[in-house]
Amino acid sequence: METIRFKEFGILVDSERTREFYKHQNNILEDCSCSDCDYFYNTFSKLPFSVYKFLSLSGVDLQKNLASEPTGVQCAVENNNLIFCDQDCLFFGKLPKEELEFTYIESNLNFKVYFYHISDYEIKVQINLSTN
């Protein structure tokens, strides 16, 4: 376990277990071939957003699919720009509080990031971002 900072909080993370978990998940493009998922996979998930940096340090692979209908990512793309995106992921660790909620603007996008425990040791993260 290690502590990784996100904004003003230090979050205890089991990145090794999280990385191992993601190894066994399907990649998004194996589960959906729509152009939104393609854009998310090939372009958007690689952008250097602070929450994406936190998640990848925590062992999360944003290009893997955790849901199945058809993917854990719902998004809308217009003129090759993502204007809306809703995604869920999870990692193993412990939050300093039962839940953490963040609302901020980064790269002209409105982010809402919500962390909450689904069990003692599992944390779900919901990320919602949009251009307005």
* Residues of this chain that bind Zn ion (CB under 5 A): 32, 34, 37
Shortest distance, position 34 Cβ to Zn ion, whole Å: 3
- Tokens read off for 36: 């939104």
CB of 22 to Zn ion, least distance (A): 19
Burial 36-57 (b: 16+ CB within 10 A, else e): bbebbbeebbeeebbbbebbeb
Which CB, 32 or 66, lies closer to Zn ion?
A: 32
Closer residue to Zn ion in complex, CB, 32/77 = 32
Count of Cβ atoms closer than 10 Å to residue 7 Cβ? 12
Residues 6 or more apart in contact with residue 8 via CB below 8 angstroms? none
Q: How far is the CB of 23 from Zn ion (least distance, A)?
A: 22
Q: Which residue has the tokens 């949009």?
A: 130
Tokens of 46: 């690689």
Nearer to Zn ion (CB atom), residue 37 or residue 85: 37
Q: How far is the CB of 46 from Zn ion (least distance, A)?
A: 17
Task: Please say which residue, 32 or 51, places its beta carbon nearer to Zn ion.
Answer: 32
